[in-house]
Chain A
Amino acid sequence: MTATRTEDLMPFDDVLEAYDPALGLEVHVELNTASKMFCGCPAVFGGEPNAGVCPTCLGLPGAMPVVNGKAVESAIRIGLALNCDIAEWCRFARKNYFYPDMPKNFQTSQYDEPICFDGYMDVDVDGETYRVEIERAHMEEDTGKSLHVGGSTGRIHGADYSLVDYNRAGIPLIEIVTRPILGAGEKAPAVARAYVAQLRELIVALGVSEARMDQGNLRADVNLSLSPKGSGTLGTRTETKNVNSFRSVERAVRYEMQRHAAILSGGGSILQETRHWHEDTGITTSGREKSDAEDYRYFPEPDLVPVAPSREWVEELRGTLPENPTVRRARLQAEWGFSDMEMRDTIGAGALGLVEQTIAEGAAPQAARKWWLGELARRSNEDGVDLVDLPITPADVARIQALVDEKVVNDKLARQVFEGVLAGEGTPDEVVDKRGLAVVSDDGALGAAVDNAIAANPDVADKIRDGKVAAAGALIGAVMKEMRGQADAGRVRELILEKLS
């Protein structure tokens, strides 16, 4: 069953005439620790079902949690990178609610004593900087994963029963919560996207998570409310879940703004609820209504003792942080010689890290930028996936550029190499090989093609002989056509001019 839109939307520009949006983002980051948050089971989801569990993460009676010190370290480093204060003393708390994928029927999380709080991140959108304030970043554990059986689609609705695998239960998560982001206006969708994209880059630079949105290592929940323009109040918000790409973050915000506005302008009121984003149809649908089921009955986890990071430890971890993002961007722009516009586009596309890695793999800065913001950006749009989630690595891109530089392929053929790599046909060299894409540099074959072209176009040949060198283009085109593109156009031109001089 595909979710289809049944709700009215207000045109986006009209929304902004009447309302101010308030954004809020909750991002869950799955840490890449070796073991789980509270036990020694592998922190790897997947594999043989229920084979990565122990009494603790399976919630067996009597079992007890012990905190993974590395996860605390990662939490503190994330907090420091987000300019947060680090608690001198904080505790874990139980969030009590029943759900079959949660083995203990409470999630061990943090409540009013998060380990990191009061931070910010400066987000660049179209050359403007928005300061996103971070309310908190806290530690918690992931849940198990249910497969829904029966019904028509494997979705939860209409399923006959479910099968639960607890391998994921207990994998460490850091939840990063922003304060309401106000004043973004028409840029709200872009700010939301840029925040998540920049946050991801930070997480990658910290090395604390694989941070792949498509794999669920990084999950964003989008809170949105509208208030009458200039009122300075906060409206009722909805929380949209299941937003699994930067692009979807932007679209979900835009959609909810339009949906809220249509309801409010019609005299209706917004229901405070969880909504689900549908990637395929680009809409949100109503999930669970937030009511008394929200009484989580938090209390401090009595099986764990407080976490009290010493200031020495915090400072030591501060010393391990990657370069400040603003400083880094300025440095990279200078190193690469990008214009302001080029830099802005690169950041906006979420390609900064990808370009950086491609350059590190040996590509020239402009070439790296060209591919990621050109050919690959086009593909990511077409496929509806983020650049980073395309099945191609910066090393692949650098190699393809090297093939161009070595004149093994030309730009046009390079596009076919990209296509092959994205289609999973192998490495760039393998694609060149399998598809037979290498340009023909054998002057014999090329010479024959040139001769054919001259013979077929005697009038053009005459013009060239008369010194109208510009006419060579027509012959080059004919040769390239005969060679099915697999020739170096520069060399063809040389041969034509040689033969007709």
Chain B
Amino acid sequence: MSDLTRSTAAALAEGLAAGEVTSVALTEAHLDRIDAVDGAVHAFLHVDRDGALADAADSDARRARGEARGPLDGVPIAVKDVLTTRGLPTTCGSKILEGWVPPYDATVVARLREAGLPILGKTNMDEFAMGSSTEHSAYGPTRNPWDLDRIPGGSGGGSAAAVAAFEAPLAIGTDTGGSIRQPGAVTGTVGVKPTYGGVSRYGLVALANSLDQAGPVTRTVLDAAMLHDVIGGHDPRDSTSIQQDWPSFTEAARAGATADMSGVKVGVITELAGEGWQGGVMARFQESVDLLVAAGAEVVEVSCPSFVHALATYYLILPAEASSNLAKFDAMRYGLRVTPEGDPSAEEVMRATRDAGFGDEVKRRIILGTYALSSGYYDAYYGQAQKIRTLISRDFDAAFADVDVLVSPTAPTTAFKLGEKLDDPMAMYLNDLATIPANLAGVPGISVPNGLADEDGLPSGFQVLAPALADDRVYRVGAALEALHADQWGGPLLDKAPVLAGAAR
């Protein structure tokens, strides 16, 4: 095979199956690529060279015995640092967990290991997944491979940048309000947020439990589908995990790649456009819609009036749940312990540790969440927000009664400059405007690269949303759009990304 790091995971799987390449060779190629470029990109917080190569060798041995565990056995992967990995540090991008090595694997991680995917390392993220730029990582920002002065999106900027910079063919992200899809959009990669309950949350360090969902971060829709088939399905350790058999998403993606959209009814969400939406992003969006129409889709405009309240609703529910989730970081059982002068009590140690161990954004949201849950405010804030979730779900129900999928731009703008919105939380929060409704209602969504904005030559993303449990539709429509654009461009969008100069980590 030619350049192993530029191959899709599906192609690598074929190469492994055909005996053209070994897992050790392609794992090593990616580790070398990480060595070469991650100094500039900083997608990884921890690289496990020895562990990944050992897993790769095991995979090759299995395959030689004819015991490969599935198509992706031997294809390496990067994992967002918010999922616990037995024996590998897990920090969630926070100082408070620096050096913590979990004694157990998240279910997603366990499934990756069972399927034989060597884990290259853990990827950078906004601290506890709070952010849209990865600038809130306590370990320094990740940079966008398209322009190293720009953000890679967030919170899962590390996973998106890792696949965009060809450091990994596959990655795992988590999406609470867009943390898989928005980084996908701004790095020209694919990201999928499955139906809530479709992928186990056991071992996913919770940000907002009722919104969090892990999912694939890849360069192609087919790769995402293949990965989803590995990590998805019921888990008895997660009470919110859906007990049902899922169709093959790989099949759905392959079917979509024929780019026949006849009989598919697509709804464009009225509310996700207008003021604050970058011209180039909107232009690319319209172009993609036109491609779908040309491929036979019927397109209508659909109004979801409650979506205008989604952002406010999200920023009440998330801090409330997060403030409680993050209480466990108290210096008693694991993680950082800061002991002030004198003879401090446990309470004083907790207070000092949490002040030193949490970054500004985390503190902002903990305080906000504490406020929203306080007696006297619960009904007005958290209670009210939970009701608006109902209204947003009703909007989705009404829309999906009429159309098969809903579409919008994934993010209102292309990647902004590092530092640009760091001290303006509200401006930062607006990045998630289009992605949040899906989390509030639990429906699945995908972001597919759909070109470069004229203003800045940076990638934009196209979001496809489907009804809960109908994740196959986002793969089908996403794969169709990907195929249509590939025809238009004569290859994948990432071929247009600048070549990263060697910058050792």
Contacts and interface: CB of A to CB of B under 8 A. Distances in A.
A62 B330 contact: no
B210 interface: yes
B108 to A, nearest CB: 10
Contacts of A66: 236-239
A61 B92 contact: yes
Interface stretch (A98-106, A315-323, A460-468): A98-106
Contacts of A33: none
Chain A: number of interface residues, binned into ranges = 20 to 34
Interface string A52-83: 00010011111111110000000000000000
A393 interface: no
Interface stretch (A224-232, A253-261, A298-306, A380-388): A298-306
A67 B236 CA distance: 11
Interface stretch (B23-31, B201-209, B453-461): B201-209
A100 B345 CA distance: 11
B375 A98 contact: no
Nearest to A164: B332
B370 interface: yes
Contacts of A304: 239-240
A62 B106 contact: yes
A164 B347 CA distance: 15
A55 B97 CA distance: 16
Given A55-B104, A299-B378, A305-B239, A62 B328 contact: no
A295 B239 contact: no
A477 B334 CA distance: 74
A65 B239 contact: yes
A357 interface: no
B370 A297 contact: yes
A298 to B, nearest CB: 8
B100, B206, B350: most-surrounded residue (chain A CB, <10 A) = B206
A36 interface: no
B65 interface: no
A303 B350 contact: no
Contact of A303 (B104, B106, B209, B378): B209
A295 B372 CA distance: 12
B324 A61 contact: no
Contact of B333 (A98, A103, A305): A103
A162 B375 CA distance: 32
B239 A96 contact: no
B327 A104 contact: yes
B373 interface: yes
Given A64-B237, A66-B239, A305-B240, A299 B102 contact: no
Interface in B211-249: 236-240
A298 B321 CA distance: 11
A94 interface: yes
A64 B238 contact: yes
Interface string A35-64: 000000000000000000001001111111
B90 A61 contact: yes
A100 B327 CA distance: 11
Given A60-B334, A305-B239, A55 B328 contact: no
A60 B104 contact: yes
A62 B83 contact: yes
A104 B106 CA distance: 18
Given A94-B324, A302-B210, A105 B240 contact: no
B210 A106 contact: no
A303 B205 CA distance: 12
A61 B328 contact: yes
Contacts of A299: 320-321, 324, 373, 378, 382
A58 B333 contact: yes
B128 to A, nearest CB: 10
A63 to B, nearest CB: 7
Contacts of B375: 295, 297
A297 B374 contact: yes
B103 A105 contact: no
B5 interface: no
B367 interface: no
Given A100-B332, A297-B324, A62 B236 contact: no
A304 B237 CA distance: 11
A302 B321 contact: yes
B370 A59 contact: no
B346 interface: yes
> Does more than half of chain B's interface fall in helix, strand or loop, or is it mixed?
loop
B204 A62 contact: yes
Nearest to B350: A98
Contacts of B208: 302
A110 to B, nearest CB: 15
B327 A303 contact: no
Given A60-B102, A64-B239, A105-B328, A96 B373 contact: yes
A61, A100, A106, A298: most-surrounded residue (chain B CB, <10 A) = A61
Nearest to A300: B386
Contacts of B106: 62
Interface in B404-444: none
Interface in A265-321: 295, 297-299, 302-305
A207 B496 CA distance: 71
B205 A61 contact: yes
B447 interface: no
Interface in A441-468: none
B8 interface: no
Contacts of A106: 324, 327
B97, B203, B320, B323: most-surrounded residue (chain A CB, <10 A) = B203
Nearest to B375: A295
A61 B201 CA distance: 11
A155 to B, nearest CB: 15
Interface string B250-289: 0000000000000000000000000000000000000000
Contacts of A297: 323-324, 370, 373-375, 378
Nearest to B104: A55
Contacts of B240: 302-305
B239 A67 contact: yes
A482 B334 CA distance: 72
B327 A105 contact: yes
Given A94-B324, A297-B373, A303-B239, A64 B202 contact: yes
Interface in B96-136: 97, 100, 102-104, 106
B84 interface: yes
Nearest to B327: A105
Contacts of B84: 55, 60-62
B328 A303 contact: no
A61 B239 contact: no
Contacts of A164: 332
Interface string B306-327: 0000000000000011011001
A28 to B, nearest CB: 23
A96 B236 contact: no
Contacts of B347: 98
A63 B202 contact: yes
A470 to B, nearest CB: 77
Interface string B192-206: 000000000111111
Contacts of B205: 61-62
Contacts of B323: 96, 297
Nearest to A40: B237
A41 to B, nearest CB: 13
A298 B378 CA distance: 9
Contacts of A305: 239-240
10 contacts: A55-B84, A55-B104, A61-B102, A66-B237, A98-B350, A106-B324, A297-B370, A297-B378, A303-B240, A305-B240
Going nearest first, the 4 A-B pairs with the smallest beta carbon separation are A105-B327, A297-B373, A302-B209, A302-B210
Given A96-B323, A298-B373, 11 more contacts: A59-B328, A59-B333, A61-B100, A61-B102, A62-B102, A62-B206, A63-B202, A64-B238, A98-B330, A106-B327, A299-B378
